[in-house]
Structure 1
């Protein structure tokens, strides 16, 4: 197990990251508004499984291989950036809708909700970078059990992310109602969200492979 100082430091960074808008948050908000909090929570299960996949790969050293192969990482990075740009366009396009704006969509079955959450998580290469570049900074080999320390830190991040995103899924409807009564706020939210997503996509496309 990592010592308390390392665990708390890593937890603080994980909290800051989950509060930053990204594809996982946008998908969960959209799904919760479209189909209700229950659907958002099911989708969150898929997102969490994506975290577990990346964590296990990093802890076992497999992610290092992926990051060492240019085409493997670049394909994932480009796919993730493309998905972010599509979300940004959906937010700012003429007659478009914001992530928090209620909309009428067909209700997807639980299986599809879970799989879409998983896909959204796996197409976010920043999660792979998080586990590969951040975890080693909080691991102390002299304390032994490197694998155990990696898993403890990783599951701490997953617990924080799931807790925060569950709260977002449960309250997305209330936030949407607030924005629907204030059109100016809703318009500003659309452009802010679109700008953030586009910025994240461009950064993902232009940053050097790590």
Structure 2
């Protein structure tokens, strides 16, 4: 719970998306995030720790791809003259972005292959424990993310005005650029 309540990419993105595009877009993004986290947990279950230990450059590649994806999301969020404001909040786009944001999130990947296995007890079978820990983590993350969507979604009613919506989308784009910069400059 403490890890999920720490502000990061998912929390910031979900709050801004839900404020700009509404709860439906935010909930679709939560579903994508949950699937992405589940797939990262499955990768850990399949032995991704050994892969990262043998090839540490993979974590760097994930980080670089994550930075590029955040920058693309910032560019995509920036309002343009004549664009369809409803396209920004499409359900399929929110789901896809939530999924890709997590699959390209080196921090999430490293959590599943370095931190989560630390809670496994060697006296019993490892894989069932990893599966249970993954499900518990994804469940907690999903509850927190839904809470963020509902809280931030309250602001959506204030932002249905096109000018306000453009303003929040600009803020969203700048926040994504800031997250990309933080991710690019983070050590380890």
Aligned residue number for residue 60 of structure 1: 46
Aligned residue number for residue 181 of structure 1: none
Q: How many Å separate the matches in 2 of 1:83 and 1:107? A: 16
Q: Is 1:121 aligned with 2:99?
A: no
Q: How many Å separate the matches in 2 of 1:65 and 1:175? A: 43
Aligned residue number for residue 134 of structure 1: 115
Q: Decide whether the 8 Å contact of 1:54 with 1:63 is kept in 2.
A: no
The CA RMSD measured in Å over matched residues stands at: 3.4
Q: Decide whether the 8 Å contact of 2:65 with 2:104 is kept in 1.
A: yes
Give the CA deviation at 1:195: 10
Unaligned runs of 5+ in 2: 80-84, 159-170
TM-score between both structures, scaled by the size of structure 1 = 0.67
Q: Is 1:149 aligned with 2:117?
A: no
Q: How many Å separate the matches in 2 of 1:117 and 1:134? A: 22
Residues 28-55 of structure 1 deviation map (CA, whole Å, 9 limit, x = unaligned): 2222122211110011101110001100
Aligned residue number for residue 170 of structure 1: 150
Give the CA deviation at 1:108: 4.3
Aligned residue pairs: how many? 173
TM-score between both structures, scaled by the size of structure 2 = 0.74
Q: Decide whether the 8 Å contact of 1:55 with 1:151 is kept in 2.
A: yes
